Amino acid sequence: MRYHIWTIGCQMNVADSQRVAAGLERLGYTPAARAEDADVMILNTCVVRQQPEDKAVGRLNQLKRVKDRYPDRVLALMGCMVGLKEAAALQARFPWVDVFLPPSDPTELWALLAERGHLDEAQTLIADAEARRLALSRVDTILPPSEQAHVVSAHLPIVLGCSHACTYCVIPYRRGAERSRPPDAILAEARQMVAQGVKEITLLGQIVDRYGYDLPEFADAVETPLVTLLRRIHEIDGLQRLRFLTSHPNWMRDDLLRAVAELPKVCEHIEVPIQAGDDEVLAQMRRGYTVDDYRRLVARLRELIPGVSIATDIIVGFPGETAEQFQHTYDLLAELRLDKAHIARYSSRPLTVATRTMTDALARAEKERRRQALDDLQSRILEELNARYLGQTVEVLVEGKNEAKDRWFGRTRTDRLVFFPADGDWLGRLAQVYVTWTGPWSLIGEVSTR
């Protein structure tokens, strides 16, 4: 019996897919490289923009042929395409899909497999309503055994859903209201991951710095709840590195910044989207801060966290964005010289305030021109920033090997991708790498003997 999971979208989906794989392996399934060869096929989907949604629909249409030929095989659709409410409509549109799974909740798959003969084993995986709401699963099923030997870096969701309601964003409609997972459950999962060979954990949330504000445990807390959680996870023996993403600028308090600086395992890398560099656009996006607030945050990050690297997200072509407003974003990106920028063309999403009340009139070609301009700018900035690594020795956590090029690869604490050739097995080890070449997207070096 074999399974195949196709995943698109954010790290949250990657974490969900891993958990489903772990459950399937417990039922005796083994991974198949191609969906066409699998008894259970799962598509884990993203709808944050139109493009990933189109890809999932394309994949669904391809798999219809497999289902027509082998009706006994199971096809499951999971993730944000399904959301909390879309299953019935999707069932009418894609009747060849057997089961629809909301984000972080594979329970219906276990129920189906229980019916199909895995009765006792699958029943043990079925969660009750509260566990489903918080994506709590049995702690021995976090990573699938087939991955345990080689997963060095893993994602751990700590905040599910989102209640911020940025006007462009579909996530609250698909992942539901914000809810923090209990700290003890998170800690148990983190320990389990480390016991299974993981060296680096990235804590996930749509607004990860809002962790814990909805939990009774932290009702009287003076310290930022995420700081308390970081400290507890930090104590796990064998864990080498700890990260968290995505942060919202309004919740980045100084004690969190200080904790990043003070806790040696917490990497000095912060993902904090600005989305636009113009106050009017930010207000229409309902982000809740101004460009100056963000400038001050960047200054605070750089002051309190030595050597910090900062990543951001930007949307170009938001409804009504003028050439002048776009120029403000361009100028701000040039001024801040951040370490990474994910730049996306605005994509109108169903139900969002922007889609209901604003006109998405800008031509796709103009959106693309703006995206490309920011990409080119950021690439030049990165080329300059990365050139500073030349001749330096950096610490790299080795995540894998590119067999074709016979080079190991991994990341610096500041999230730079580094390649280096070396004999022996470096997987999961910390390598000191002397950098001999730098480009905008990666560095190359050799294991340092100095």
- Kindly list the residues in this chain that would bind ligand SAM in the complex (CB under 6 A): 10, 48-49, 166, 168-169, 206, 246, 248, 273, 275, 313, 315, 344, 346-347, 349
Cβ of residue 325: shortest distance to ligand SAM, in angstroms?
A: 16
Q: Which is nearer to ligand SAM, 196 or 329 (CB)?
A: 329
Cβ of residue 398: shortest distance to ligand SAM, in angstroms?
A: 28
Cβ of residue 304: shortest distance to ligand SAM, in angstroms?
A: 21
Reading the block at residue 299, the tokens are 């200054």
Residues in the chain: 450
Q: Which is nearer to ligand SAM, 314 or 433 (CB)?
A: 314
Reading the block at residue 124, the tokens are 């043990």
Is residue 171 within 8 A of residue 80, CB to CB? The reply is: yes
Q: Which is nearer to ligand SAM, 35 or 170 (CB)?
A: 170
Measured distance CA(103)–CA(339) in Å, rounded = 30
Q: Which is nearer to ligand SAM, 48 or 78 (CB)?
A: 48
Cβ of residue 414: shortest distance to ligand SAM, in angstroms?
A: 20
For 294-348, where are the E strands, in sequence order? 309-316, 340-345
Q: Which is nearer to ligand SAM, 364 or 450 (CB)?
A: 364
Give 277: exposed, middle or buried? Use CB within 10 Å, 0-12, 13-18, 19+: buried
Cβ of residue 246: shortest distance to ligand SAM, in angstroms?
A: 4
Is residue 185 within 8 A of residue 134, CB to CB? The reply is: yes
| β-bridge mates for residue 409, sequence order | 400, 419
Measured distance CA(135)–CA(205) in Å, rounded = 13
Cβ of residue 10: shortest distance to ligand SAM, in angstroms?
A: 5
Q: Which is nearer to ligand SAM, 23 or 277 (CB)?
A: 277
Cβ of residue 24: shortest distance to ligand SAM, in angstroms?
A: 26
State the distance between the two ends of the chain, measured CA to CA, in whole angstroms. Answer: 51
Cβ of residue 12: shortest distance to ligand SAM, in angstroms?
A: 8
At residue 7, the 3 state secondary structure works out as: strand
Beta-carbon contacts of 380 under 8 Å, excluding residues fewer than 6 positions away, are 440
Instruction: Output the CA–CA distances (angstroms, integers) from residue 374 to 5, 165, 385, 397, in the order listed.
Output: 34, 25, 16, 30
Cβ-count burial 96-135 (b if 16+ within 10 Å, e if not): ebbbbbbbbbbbbbbebbbeeebeeebeebbbeeeebbbb
Q: Which is nearer to ligand SAM, 355 or 448 (CB)?
A: 355
Is residue 332 within 8 A of residue 277, CB to CB? The reply is: yes
Q: Which is nearer to ligand SAM, 311 or 385 (CB)?
A: 311
Cβ of residue 214: shortest distance to ligand SAM, in angstroms?
A: 16
Cβ of residue 439: shortest distance to ligand SAM, in angstroms?
A: 24
H or E element in which residue 357 lies? helix 353-357
Pairing of the two strands 40-45 and 74-79: parallel
Q: Which is nearer to ligand SAM, 211 or 426 (CB)?
A: 211
Measured distance CA(271)–CA(312) in Å, rounded = 6
Q: Which is nearer to ligand SAM, 327 or 355 (CB)?
A: 355
When CB distances to ligand SAM are compared, the closest residue is: 313
Measured distance CA(55)–CA(47) in Å, rounded = 10
Say which residue the tokens 């905008």 belong to: 440
Measured distance CA(430)–CA(412) in Å, rounded = 10
Q: Which is nearer to ligand SAM, 131 or 353 (CB)?
A: 353
Cβ of residue 279: shortest distance to ligand SAM, in angstroms?
A: 18
